[in-house]
Amino acid sequence: MRRPNKDIALKDLQGFKIIKKFQKFLNQAQAQLQDHIQPTERDPKRKLSKRDYFSLFIFAFLNPVIKSMRGLCEASKLNKIQDKVSSNSVSLGSFSEAQNCFNPKLLLSTIKILAKRFDFSFGDKRLYKLAKELVAVDGTLIRALPRMSWALWQDDLHRSAKLHLHYAFLRQSVIDASLTDAKSCERAELAKHLEKGYLYTADRYYGGNYSFFTIFDKAESHFVIRIRNDAVIQELETFPLTEADKKDGIVYDKKVLLGKEPTEQPYRNRSEPPLFVGVCNF
């Protein structure tokens, strides 16, 4: 958006109360992350604070009329925005530079604080007893600019980042996330973020390496992960199906070893139509 500031009317802007609440939780997260403050954040010449920077970002998402960084910086000149969102007006250069100055962990910590405020209110109530959290995990590519050299992907002209997202089913909320280059391994990234007592579910990519499953035992967490339909499975024990299993479409329930060179640890293998094959350890 390149129109002058006078064309941005206050009547077109919203979300000031939401920003006030967001800043409250941002302060809580900052208190928890004092040891993670970067040297660039302490520069006495810096007028744009981390509070203002993240607040402006959220404010832009709440207002479709702000369509670019230029538009956001223009809007920051309005008195009400300086009073409710950002302490000062912000230049394009300062806002652009800030992405390399402020620790993004502050925003992630704020999201985690907010996620805990969501009650368990979704799905079959029997799931609440399985684990502390029922978490879906996956990675997705986000196109990046060629000049973002860290975002390794196909070549110098095709860059991309990868967002690794943890979504809590029962809370219906994002509870964790990380950003890496596109070539990073999703399994390796998940291993860094496992929480004790959580139950993780993921697609067949995460089941492509059976030795990966051992990390869940070390972290004292649980998993339900899809594996390949043509997986080599050595059956050890068969469990009888209950009426509830049959009603849910479960075809078989067995303890198995996986792979041509079987894993040392047996796993529970449950299957339901049409061709779903998964393993779990709870």
Instruction: Give the model confidence (pLDDT) of 201-214 as tens digits.
Output: 999 999 888 888 88
Tell me the C-alpha to C-alpha distance, in Å, between residue 34 and each of 47, 57, 100, 181: 19, 22, 18, 27
For residue 122, the tally of other CB atoms under 10 A from its CB is 15
**By 3-state DSSP, what share of the chain in percent is helix, strand and coil, each rounded to 5?**
35, 25, 40
In this structure, of 18-22, 41-45, 167-171, 271-275, the range with the lowest mean pLDDT score is 271-275
Q: What is the DSSP string of 2-65?
A: -S-GGGS-GGG---HHHHHHHHHHHHHHHHHTGGG--GGGG-TT--S-HHHHHHHHHHHHH-TT
- Kindly tell me if the per-residue pLDDT of 38 is higher than 70: no
What is the pLDDT at residue 202? Answer: 94
| Structure token pair of residue 188 | 């390796």
For residue 69, the tally of other CB atoms under 10 A from its CB is 16
Predicted TM-score (pTM) of this structure: 0.78
- Kindly tell me if the per-residue pLDDT of 33 is higher than 80: no
Tell me the C-alpha to C-alpha distance, in Å, between residue 131 and each of 16, 68, 169, 227, 259: 37, 42, 12, 22, 28
Instruction: Give the model confidence (pLDDT) of 119-164 as tens digits.
Output: 888 888 888 888 899 999 999 999 988 888 888 888 888 899 999 9
| Structure token pair of residue 171 | 């809370």
- Kindly tell me if the per-residue pLDDT of 5 is higher than 80: no
Mean pLDDT of the chain: 85
3-class SS of residue 242: coil
Domain coordinates in residue numbering, the chain: 5-114, 119-197
How would you class 269 by CB atoms within 10 Å of its CB: exposed for 0-12, middle for 13-18, buried for 19 or more? buried
Q: Give the pLDDT band of residue 4 (cuts 50, 70, 90).
A: very low
Cβ atoms of residues 223 and 267 within 8 Å: no
Rg of the chain over all Cα atoms, to the nearest angstrom: 24
Calculate what percentage of the chain has a pLDDT beyond 70.
89
278/112: higher pLDDT: 112
Determine the average pLDDT of the residues in 2-21.
77
Instruction: Give the model confidence (pLDDT) of 202-257 as tens digits.
Output: 999 998 888 888 899 899 999 989 888 888 888 889 999 999 888 888 888 888 88
Cβ atoms of residues 258 and 232 within 8 Å: yes
